[in-house]
Structure formats: structure tokens, C-alpha cells
């Protein structure tokens, strides 16, 4: 057994024979299968299957991975798409001036309305961004026939939410 342990530590593969032999024959206890036996007095070759220390392997990012890092959400849009459709939770800046003055940033409620004083609820959910100003002006014009002017613009839109599933590093929202 000591010879087998010494051979294994030297890097050679050994097998033991357990097959019965004919009378008068002796079976070898060990059979060498590796031919690269180190010479006496030289260190055994070192074979590594895994890195021994921390490895600095740089893995390239998946194409489009920066879209899901969340860094883009910190930057505000300077100009909104005119085809954007107003949704619940969007913020709309409304200014009225003239005979009646009002200036506020209003949030679209769950019913899809914004509420203007002396005008009432104005339905804006489903309205394209390009049509937002005329829709608010028409609602104000039904109450104030003259000397009240209005301006409405999209102040903040709800972020686009993407749910990721499958074989990904961070599934979820």
C-alpha cells in the first residue's frame, strides 16, 4: 500500500490486480499506466485543474445589459414623444392666467382625470401628448369664455416597467 500511495503522490496512475492467477504464477500488485514518471530527486509536476487563487476573469456583458441596470431611469427626459399616451400616475403641469390664475403640477388620478379649480375634472387618460394642450384648453374654454388662457404640458411620465424571467442573473422588475 505504501508503494501505491507513493506512486499516486508522484502523479502516476496505478491499478491493483485482483484477478485469480494459475498456480505457480504470481500477479503483479501494481501496474503503471502513466509513462511520465519523474526522475528521482526532481519535484513532481504540478497539475492544476482549478485556479488556486482568486481569478480575475473579465466576462463581457450581454448585449443590451445596460438597459436593465436602472442607470437610465435617473436621467429625466428633456422632451417627451408627441405620440406618448397619457396614463394614470403621469404628472401634468397646468397654468391658467388672465381673469383667473392657477399654476400647479397635477397627477392623473385612477379615473384618468386631472382636477382644475372652477372647471372640474378633465379627462386626459388616453390622450396623446400632442393633443394634451388642446384638450385642457377646450375644457377651460367651456367654463371661461374669454380672458382666461391655459397651458398644459406633460411634466413626468410613468417609467416603463419590464419584467424579466428565465435564465437571467436578476429576474424580476
Note whether residue 96 is domain-resident: yes
CA distance readout (Å), 70 to 10, 65, 158, 173: 54, 10, 14, 10
Q: What is the pTM of this model?
A: 0.51
Note whether residue 128 is domain-resident: yes
The structural domain count of the chain equals 2
Torsion of CA 106, 109, 113, 118, to 10 degrees: -50
Note whether residue 37 is domain-resident: no
Note whether residue 41 is domain-resident: no
| Local confidence pLDDT in tens for the 173 residues of the chain | 555 555 445 554 444 445 555 565 555 555 555 555 566 667 766 666 665 556 565 566 667 666 666 655 555 554 678 889 999 999 999 999 999 999 999 999 999 999 999 999 999 999 999 999 999 999 999 999 889 999 999 998 877 777 777 887 777 66
Task: Output the domain CATH number for residue 128.
Answer: 3.30.1950.10
Note whether residue 162 is domain-resident: no
**Residue 28 and residue 89 in one domain:** no
Per-residue confidence (pLDDT) for residue 94, from 0 to 100:
95
**Residue 22 and residue 86 in one domain:** no
Note whether residue 23 is domain-resident: yes
Domain, as residue range, for 19: 2-32
Amino acid at each position: 500500500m505504501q508503494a501505491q500511495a507513493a506512486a499516486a503522490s508522484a502523479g502516476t496512475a496505478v491499478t491493483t490486480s485482483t484477478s485469480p492467477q494459475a498456480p505457480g504464477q504470481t500477479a503483479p500488485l501494481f501496474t503503471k499506466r502513466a509513462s511520465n514518471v519523474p526522475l528521482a530527486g526532481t519535484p513532481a509536476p504540478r497539475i492544476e485543474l482549478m485556479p488556486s487563487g482568486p481569478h480575475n476573469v473579465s466576462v463581457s456583458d450581454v448585449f443590451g445589459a445596460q438597459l436593465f441596470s436602472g442607470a437610465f431611469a435617473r436621467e429625466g427626459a428633456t422632451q417627451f414623444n408627441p405620440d406618448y399616451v397619457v396614463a394614470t400616475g403621469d404628472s401634468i403641469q397646468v397654468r391658467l392666467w388672465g381673469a383667473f390664475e392657477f399654476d400647479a403640477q397635477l397627477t392623473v388620478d385612477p379615473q384618468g382625470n386631472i382636477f382644475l379649480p372652477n372647471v372640474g375634472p378633465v379627462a386626459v387618460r388616453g390622450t396623446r401628448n400632442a393633443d394634451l394642450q388642446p384638450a385642457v384648453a377646450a375644457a377651460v374654454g367651456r367654463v371661461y369664455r374669454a380672458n382666461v388662457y391655459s397651458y398644459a404640458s406633460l411634466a413626468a411620465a410613468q417609467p416603463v416597467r419590464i419584467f424579466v424571467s428565465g435564465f437571467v442573473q436578476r429576474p424580476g422588475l
